[in-house]
């Protein structure tokens, strides 16, 4: 079971670079490079479960070739399995059938993580909980066989209308041997309060699996993820679905996966580390230097964490943010 510790209030953090609570253990080593791969997953009709695993293997192989530490897959990429379900099923029937495949999903991606020696953030999977409601849950699989989760905490009108999904109520951060990370699923990144709370708790990289139907939806996710990187002086990584399957709820998809940085000297001029060609299947890779990030924060052109006006406004989590040690 992962170790957990509560996050102190923002007043307990200093105004300096990575705030006073540094990630523990191996995170403090001198070489703090994190190599990430982010998928642009092209939805296509498939026939059986194994086809989905074979599809995911393409991105895993690419990440291995890049010697990456992390692979990010998109939000609900498992919806590709909708194409295996009987024609005429309702949206509710399909999402519940997908929930029934959760055990297979957990087993498959746990095995894939072990085999590849990658930390795989396998997008998100709908989960039917004991309360009878469906939640959109991101899963992070580690080579050690552990699985860590982050529920989507802001549910879109579409998710409510089609699937009667419910929002989660917890914000988690994860201390990996490479850095302290967070996960915000799609719509969640459009709420800057959550990213700022994560930043105050020492997050260095936020992974954003998303799924959007068109360019406008994608633009919301992209612009917000880029803004979160700039205003919190962190990296953000986004991964989305493209392509189409003959199912009304996933007939259209648009994506351009990317990695974003702060906007300052010694970072890319457009604060984009790398981005895919739009709307085609691809995987892009980036090396994130977290030691460089920490050093640059100390001498940044602007320091939005330090320069907050807590005499005029304050931000405080109403539920405990847990920092979980990843093993």
Q: Residue 244 burial by CB count (10 A; 0-12/13-18/19+): exposed, middle or buried?
A: middle
Cite the active site residues. 75, 152, 186
Element containing residue 273 per DSSP (H, E):
strand 272-275
Task: Give Cα separations from 19 to 103, 236, 312 (angstroms).
Answer: 39, 18, 21
38 is written with which tokens?
């982010």
Q: Which of 313, 71, 293 is nearest to 199 (CA)?
A: 293
Measured in degrees and rounded to the nearest 5, phi and psi for residue 247 equal: -135, 130
Which residues, in sequence order, are CB contacts of 51 under 8 Å at separation 6+? none
Question: Sign (positive/negative) of CA torsion 94, 95, 98, 100?
Answer: negative
CA–CA dist 157, 160 (Å, integer): 5
CA–CA dist 226, 101 (Å, integer): 34
Q: Which of 302, 136, 293 is nearest to 210 (CA)?
A: 136
Element containing residue 172 per DSSP (H, E):
strand 171-175
CA–CA dist 116, 84 (Å, integer): 27
CA–CA dist 39, 114 (Å, integer): 19
């Amino acid at each position: 079971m992962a170790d957990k510790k509560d996050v102190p209030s923002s007043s307990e953090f200093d105004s300096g670079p990575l705030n006073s609570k540094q990630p523990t253990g191996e995170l403090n080593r001198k070489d703090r490079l994190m190599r990430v791969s982010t998928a642009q997953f092209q939805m296509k009709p498939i026939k059986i479960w194994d086809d989905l695993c074979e599809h995911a293997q393409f991105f895993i192989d690419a990440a291995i070739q890049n010697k990456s530490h992390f692979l990010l897959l998109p939000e609900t990429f498992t919806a590709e399995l909708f194409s295996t379900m009987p024609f005429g099923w309702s949206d509710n029937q399909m999402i519940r059938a997908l929930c029934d495949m959760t055990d297979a999903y957990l087993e498959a991606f746990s095995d894939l993580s072990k085999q590849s020696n990658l930390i795989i953030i396998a997008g998100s999977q709908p989960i039917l909980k004991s309360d009878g409601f469906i939640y959109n849950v991101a899963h992070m699989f580690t080579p050690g066989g552990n699985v860590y989760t982050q529920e989507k905490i802001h549910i879109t009108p579409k998710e409510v209308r089609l699937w009667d999904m419910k929002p989660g109520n917890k914000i988690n951060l994860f201390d990996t041997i490479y850095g302290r990370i967070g996960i915000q699923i799609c719509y969640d990144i459009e709420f800057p309060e959550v990213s700022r709370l994560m930043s105050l708790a020492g997050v260095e990289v936020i992974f954003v699996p998303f799924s959007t139907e068109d360019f406008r939806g994608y633009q919301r996710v992209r612009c917000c993820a880029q803004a979160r990187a700039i205003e919190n002086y962190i990296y953000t990584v986004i991964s989305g679905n493209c392509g189409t399957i003959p199912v009304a709820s996933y007939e259209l998809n648009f994506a351009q996966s990317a990695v974003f940085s702060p906007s300052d000297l010694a970072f890319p001029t457009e604060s984009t580390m790398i981005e895919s060609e739009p709307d085609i299947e691809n995987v892009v890779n980036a090396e994130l230097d977290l030691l460089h990030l920490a050093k640059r924060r100390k001498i940044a052109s602007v320091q939005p964490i330090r320069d907050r006006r807590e005499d005029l406004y304050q931000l405080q989590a109403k539920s405990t943010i847990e920092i979980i040690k990843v093993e």
